[in-house]
Amino acid sequence: MVFPEYRPRRMRRNEAFRSMIRETHLSASQFIYPLFVMPGKNKREPIPSMPGVFRISIDQLAQEAKECLSLGINSVILFGLPEKKDAMGSGAHKGDGIIQRAIKELKNKAPELMVVTDVCLCEYTDHGHCGCIIDNDVDNDATLEILAKTALSHAKAGADMVAPSDMMDGRIAEIRAALDENNYESIPIMSYAVKYASSFYGPFRDAADCSPQFGDRRSYQMDPANSREAMREATLDVEEGADILMVKPAVAYLDIISKLRDEFDLPVAAYHVSGEYAMIKAAEEKGWIDGPRVMEETLLSIKRAGADIIITYFAKDMARRLRG
């Protein structure tokens, strides 16, 4: 069928036609909203490189939860700023640690909200790496035990799902075993399966105060140049028991999201990260782009590439836009 018999423009004539044939839809129920939790009371600190995002104290969580739920956002992912850091990141698995208290508060005040936790040590180590250091290197196997302890402490506090973001080898199996041994076999693992050593995490590291104090994360996070290796990482995580596979960042890695969607039958999540958010906000502030439209187009592209779930700082803004 060629012109003039077929005219694609016929179906673009008005919004009724356009919306009738629209292939991809965003839904607030598939967003996960990140929250940064800090010590203190009545705290709501703006994060300069992430306009509209705040570090909040535990007493502010109930309000956030209500706002999310009222917008149709059913889940949040928690990041913590501990009071103290040490070489082993022991604050990550303290029974009364910042995240453990935040989980309890949320489960207490808004039980219907799904609480996901980021399982990593970089916010808790004084050197800022995602594992413990032995002989000047992030030691993989020594870190596994601490990660499993951390995930277990989150489950004990009431977390609905854990999301390991450290990129140590074998951590999904270790965490799954620890959860199962302690009767948390029903708590799923959303694995940051394909996490690149990306410069798009800059604003997050300001927000969560977790920049490495020496070196960088390239010995454990993936090389941005690699795609076949992403499939290998995801395969390992599936074999080890992951329930959801995540790709991170999102927009610079849409090809990877699409490949994962084709190769695996698990739900795929994508993390639209801090730098991706900040760039849109900055260009909007300069008046160079229409921020809300670029936000929608960006999130649609992530969905179209194949992601089911999107972790995004735009969750509330986009949910409001969807409500018109």
Positions marked active-site: 195, 248
Q: How far is the CB of 322 from ligand PBG (least distance, A)?
A: 22
- Asked if 250 interacts with ligand PBG (CB under 6 A), we say no
- Whose tokens are 């973001």? That residue is 165
Please give the residue whose beta carbon sits closest to ligand PBG in the complex.
204
Quick note: the x/- pattern for ligand PBG over 217-246, rule CB under 6 A, is x-----------------------------
**In the window 119-148, what residues touch ligand PBG (CB under 6 A)?**
120, 122, 130
Q: How far is the CB of 213 from ligand PBG (least distance, A)?
A: 13
Dump the DSSP string for 216-274: -STTTSBPTT-SHHHHHHHHHHHHHT-SEEEEESSGGGHHHHHHHHHH--S-EEEEE-H
The tokens for 9 are: 């423009």
Stretch that binds ligand PBG, among 116-124, 149-157, 231-239, 256-264 (CB under 6 A): 116-124
Complex with ligand PBG: residue 139 or 263, whichever CB lies closer: 139
- Asked if 273 interacts with ligand PBG (CB under 6 A), we say yes
Distance CA 191, CA 212 (A): 22
Q: Binding residues for ligand PBG, how many (CB under 6 A)?
A: 11
- Asked if 193 interacts with ligand PBG (CB under 6 A), we say no
Residue 34 identity (one-letter amino acid): P
Of 205, 158, 155, whose CA–CA distance to 177 is shortest? 155
- Whose tokens are 């187009």? That residue is 297
- Asked if 298 interacts with ligand PBG (CB under 6 A), we say no
Q: How far is the CB of 165 from ligand PBG (least distance, A)?
A: 4
Complex with ligand PBG: residue 203 or 291, whichever CB lies closer: 203
- Asked if 274 interacts with ligand PBG (CB under 6 A), we say yes
Which of 33, 184, 196, 201 touches ligand PBG (CB under 6 A)? 201
Which of 30, 165, 191, 298 touches ligand PBG (CB under 6 A)? 165
- Whose tokens are 């959860």? That residue is 179
Distance CA 186, CA 180 (A): 8
Stretch that binds ligand PBG, among 66-74, 115-123, 228-236, 289-297 (CB under 6 A): 115-123
Residue 38 identity (one-letter amino acid): M
Long-range contacts of 128-137 (CB under 8 A, 24+ apart): 128/210, 128/211, 128/212, 128/213, 129/212, 129/215, 129/217, 130/165, 130/166, 130/167, 130/168, 130/217, 130/220, 131/89, 131/166, 131/168, 131/220, 132/87, 132/88, 132/89, 133/87, 137/219
Quick note: the x/- pattern for ligand PBG over 70-109, rule CB under 6 A, is ----------------------------------------
DSSP state of 126: T
Residues that bind ligand PBG (CB under 6 A): 118, 120, 122, 130, 165, 201, 204-205, 217, 273-274
